[in-house]
Amino acid sequence: MLIVSELCEGGFTLINMIEYCKNQIPQHVVLSIVGDIARGVQWMHSRGIAHRDLKVENILLKDHRFKLADFGSAEYEKNFLIWDHLRSMETARRHLLVNRNYECFEKNTTLMYRPPEMIDRYLKQDIDDKADIWMLGCIVFTLCFGKHPFMESQQLAILNGQFSMPDEGYSYIEEGARNLIRVLLTTNPAQRPNIDQVVQVIENLKAKVDKEQVLTTAQKELKMLPMLQQASPTKSEPEEEEAKEEDDWATWGKDGGTGGHAEDWGDTWNQKHDPSEPATSKPAEESPPSKESPSLTQTERQEVARALGKERIQFNIMKSQDFQRGGAKKGGGCFSLFG
């Protein structure tokens, strides 16, 4: 048998993901991964092929999808053409009988993933596609709990189906996923479900978990909404804030601002902050209102504000440099003319 498969670059396997997540993979992610694997197995079984070496090390990641790899132990029905004439998966399953080549199993498969019929040849059970169902159960267990159900590779434990699912620290694993593991790891291959049934159960579990996750997120957001409303101050529209800021810039010169005269302000600041000269106070002189300058419209005031803003920023930089060269040496403190 010759199998041609796509190239998965990068070498990222499912075991790498388990180690990266420190054995704590969310349940909806587990079901998504298992769904990809089960659909790949479903495609193989529909064509009369059994993988027989499914394990986390043989699952690759490419384009956010998990792919099956390592088909060295795969087997198929010798008369492959009959699959074109079979009408159902159940009929196909009954015709899928893989040769009992135990030497090949011992050489090309991993002991702790082997089903009971692959370990004990005296059971005289056909090693068919139901072996993949058992191995898929081992993968689901490993994804859910971060360890293999038969870590010590004890053949007796595998033959008797002795494993336990931890509760502490894994309460988020629902009973539906636990029941799926129990069914997949059934010692009698005839009592295990076929891959079509497994895919359907996984899809149902995934839909249920996704729905519960959406409801949980919505409930958390609703609980946080009153707190967010109290913590967030009421803000006006950005356009109104910008217009108000520009309006303040336009009227700034009337309240004693520079009005764009940087040199006059520089002289005034030097006179006020130079410790070598005594401070003198002069009475404020009122300037008569100009009769030639009519009141500016809002648009004109904004244009003036933009012009003042450019000079204001330039002057602020200029005075900061002067202060660093002269004022700081004279013992002056930090200042902000336009703060």
pLDDT, tens digit, 9 for 90 and up, residues 97-123: 444 456 666 666 788 899 998 888 777
Share of the chain above pLDDT 90, in %: 23
Cα angle value 205/211/213 (rounded, 5°):
100
Distance CA 65, CA 225 (A): 36
Look at residue 153 and give its three-state secondary structure. coil
- Give φ, ψ of 60 to 5 degrees: -105, 155
pLDDT of amino acid 229:
61
Q: What is the pLDDT of residues 236-291, one digit of tens each?
A: 455 555 555 555 545 544 444 444 444 454 555 455 555 555 555 555 555 555 55
Distance CA 38, CA 203 (A): 10
pLDDT of amino acid 218:
62
Using pLDDT thresholds of 50, 70 and 90, give the confidence band for residue 1: low
Distance CA 96, CA 2 (A): 18
Other beta carbons less than 10 A from residue 25's beta carbon = 19
The answer to whether the beta carbons of residues 3 and 74 sit under 8 Å apart is: yes
The answer to whether the beta carbons of residues 247 and 305 sit under 8 Å apart is: yes
Q: What is the DSSP letter of 61?
A: E
Which range, of 108-117, 165-174, 320-329, averages the lowest pLDDT? 320-329
Question: Which two tokens mark 314?
Answer: 């330039």
Distance CA 301, CA 288 (A): 21
The answer to whether the beta carbons of residues 87 and 74 sit under 8 Å apart is: no
Catalytic residues: 53
The answer to whether the beta carbons of residues 185 and 141 sit under 8 Å apart is: yes
pLDDT of amino acid 186:
94
> Pick the residue with more confidence: 8 or 61?
61
The answer to whether the beta carbons of residues 58 and 69 sit under 8 Å apart is: yes
pLDDT of amino acid 193:
96
The answer to whether the beta carbons of residues 135 and 116 sit under 8 Å apart is: no
pLDDT of amino acid 54:
93
Distance CA 75, CA 50 (A): 5
Distance CA 247, CA 241 (A): 10
Within 8 A by CB and 6+ apart from 55, the residues are 110, 113, 135, 138, 139
pLDDT of amino acid 166:
87
Long-range contacts of range 65-72, CB-CB < 8 Å, 24 or more positions apart? 65/36, 66/14, 66/33, 66/36, 66/37, 66/40, 67/5, 67/6, 67/8, 67/36, 67/40, 68/37, 68/40, 68/41, 68/44, 69/5, 69/8, 71/3, 71/5, 72/108
The answer to whether the beta carbons of residues 98 and 50 sit under 8 Å apart is: yes
Q: Which of 318, 329, 321 is nearest to 258 (CA)?
A: 318
Look at residue 252 and give its three-state secondary structure. helix
Look at residue 40 and give its three-state secondary structure. helix
pLDDT of amino acid 155:
83
The answer to whether the beta carbons of residues 27 and 209 sit under 8 Å apart is: yes
Q: What is the pLDDT of residues 188-236, one digit of tens each?
A: 999 999 999 999 999 999 998 887 776 666 666 566 666 656 665 555 4
